[in-house]
Amino acid sequence: MIGFGFSRPVPIVIIGAGMAGLSAASALVQAGQTPVIFDKGRGIGGRVATRRVMLPDGTQLQFDHGAQFATAKGAGFAAVLGALQTAGLAVEWNTGGDTGGGRSQIIGAPAMSSLARGIAQAAGLQIVQNAAATSVRQDGARWCITFADGSVVQAKRVILTVPAPQLAALLGPDHDAARTGASLPMQPCLTLIAAARAPAPFTAARDNAQDLAWIAQDNSKSSRVSDGLTTWVAQSNLSFSLQHLEKSSDQICALMLPLLCARLGLTAGDIVFSAAHRWRYARADVPLGEPFLHPSAGLYIGGDWCLGPRIEAAWDSVAAIAADILARG
Ligand SMILES: Cc1cc2nc3c(=O)[nH]c(=O)nc-3n(C[C@H](O)[C@H](O)[C@H](O)COP(=O)(O)OP(=O)(O)OC[C@H]3O[C@@H](n4cnc5c(N)ncnc54)[C@H](O)[C@@H]3O)c2cc1C
């Protein structure tokens, strides 16, 4: 079955519309190429994510429940963030302390997901959503990408930007790149989002020794919708995440909420809304150490797990893939 109306081979297919996939696509489009991104999600940005909530009484809330902010070490990604700031889609976030490792903390405006949407719109990227790839196989000089609905798209080149442990599902567990991916486990992170009818005692706190390693007042960020409530995002540390990963979202919420209340000096009665999100593949603490994998002609693989657990690393990894493709012509 021909997939998504693509009856001819697509020059470059990118799997994943996280910051890595967007990086490659925008560089390729700027060079006159016509890549197509496919993502299994309803939105774009991957782990750079924003959740919007409407309570039964009409109260509207939003939470950056994935990446909290972006920082730039290198000039390339600094220029990307600078362009987003100029366009009004990113601003600095001052937490009142050094939570950004001495670098400016840049957030999307009005939401973290604005970073991804801004990049996609500026470059006019072609993105197919709700498209979960299930296998990627070579067929002569072409690549066949099969999707969950059974449709197939052919491509001359394919760039995979899924988390490393998920490569086996696409390439087969015996593929060399899948074996490499399996050797780079990614650590989970459990995230609590909550809204309270109480003032905030602080803006952000980081302490890996605590079960809640990161706590941030989300509505201290510019332009956040919170309808007069204080909104919070809390992330568990690694040992808590591993211990409770397989619990249900409700169970995780029930465990994390009292911890948050204790840190903020709140009672359960102050909490208006709470929910938990499980990031199974949140961060690669021991990255590959190379910008990308190129196991065979036409197949490229990258993402944050190549260079480090940061948005910039995801960007740089797959920018290097785009540069390699353009250099080969
Ligand atoms: C809780 C949390 C907090 C973080 N905080 C920060 C922070 O403050 N600062 C920072 O710099 N970094 C932070 N990070 C890390 C940062 O979010 C990541 O490094 C970066 O977003 C990774 O981008 P990526 O494109 O490589 O991967 P992803 O964002 O994971 O993108 C992969 C994309 O591939 C799609 N996909 C996966 N499988 C398939 C498939 N089979 N078919 C189609 N599509 C598929 C997914 O839907 C997703 O959109 C945080 C991460 C988490 C989880």
**Minimum-distance ligand 1 atom for the alpha carbon of 281:** 53
Q: What is the pLDDT of residue 168?
A: 98
Three-class DSSP category at 263: helix
**Minimum-distance ligand 1 atom for the alpha carbon of 279:** 53
**Who has greater pLDDT, 1 or 99?**
99
**Residue 161 in contact with residue 20, Cβ under 8 Å?**
yes
Task: State the average pLDDT for the chain.
Answer: 96
317 lines ligand 1 (CB under 6 A): no
Q: What is the pLDDT of residue 3?
A: 82
Give the closest residue to 297 by CA, choosing from 135, 144, 136, 158: 158
241 lines ligand 1 (CB under 6 A): no
DSSP one-letter code for 219: G
**Residue 256 in contact with residue 246, Cβ under 8 Å?**
no
Structural domains of the chain, ranges and CATH numbers in brackets: 10-47+118-184+287-328 (3.50.50.60), 187-283 (3.90.660.10)
310 lines ligand 1 (CB under 6 A): yes
Q: Does 6 have pLDDT greater than 70?
A: yes
211 lines ligand 1 (CB under 6 A): no
304 lines ligand 1 (CB under 6 A): yes
**Minimum-distance ligand 1 atom for the alpha carbon of 305:** 26
Q: What is the pLDDT of residue 66?
A: 98
Q: What is the pLDDT of residue 329?
A: 80
106 lines ligand 1 (CB under 6 A): no
Side chain identity, residue 201: P
Q: Does 94 have pLDDT greater than 70?
A: yes
- 140 Cα to the center of ligand 1, angstroms: 31
Q: Does 280 have pLDDT greater than 90?
A: yes
Of the candidate ranges 9-23, 89-103, 172-186, 315-329, the one whose mean pLDDT is the lowest: 89-103
**Minimum-distance ligand 1 atom for the alpha carbon of 304:** 26
**Residue 87 in contact with residue 299, Cβ under 8 Å?**
no
Give the closest residue to 234 by CA, choosing from 186, 195, 285, 286: 195
- 31 Cα to the center of ligand 1, angstroms: 25
Q: What is the pLDDT of residue 99?
A: 78
Question: pTM here?
Answer: 0.97
**Residue 264 in contact with residue 198, Cβ under 8 Å?**
yes
As given in the structure block, the two tokens for residue 54 are: 């409407």
Q: What is the pLDDT of residue 1?
A: 67
**Minimum-distance ligand 1 atom for the alpha carbon of 23:** 25
Q: What is the pLDDT of residue 198?
A: 96
What percent of the chain clears pLDDT 70, i.e. is strictly above it? 99
Nearest-CA residue for ligand 1 atom 49 is 46
Nearest-CA residue for ligand 1 atom 38 is 162
Q: What is the pLDDT of residue 245?
A: 98
As given in the structure block, the two tokens for residue 227 are: 């309808």
From 77, 128, 162, give the residue whose CB has the most ligand 1 atoms within 8 Å, as the site to mutate: 162
**Residue 40 in contact with residue 57, Cβ under 8 Å?**
no
Q: Does 206 have pLDDT greater than 90?
A: yes
Q: What is the pLDDT of residues 21-67, one digit of tens each?
A: 999 999 999 999 999 999 999 999 999 999 999 999 999 999 999 99
- 18 Cα to the center of ligand 1, angstroms: 6
**Minimum-distance ligand 1 atom for the alpha carbon of 47:** 29
- 119 Cα to the center of ligand 1, angstroms: 15
As given in the structure block, the two tokens for residue 178 are: 């899948």
113 lines ligand 1 (CB under 6 A): no
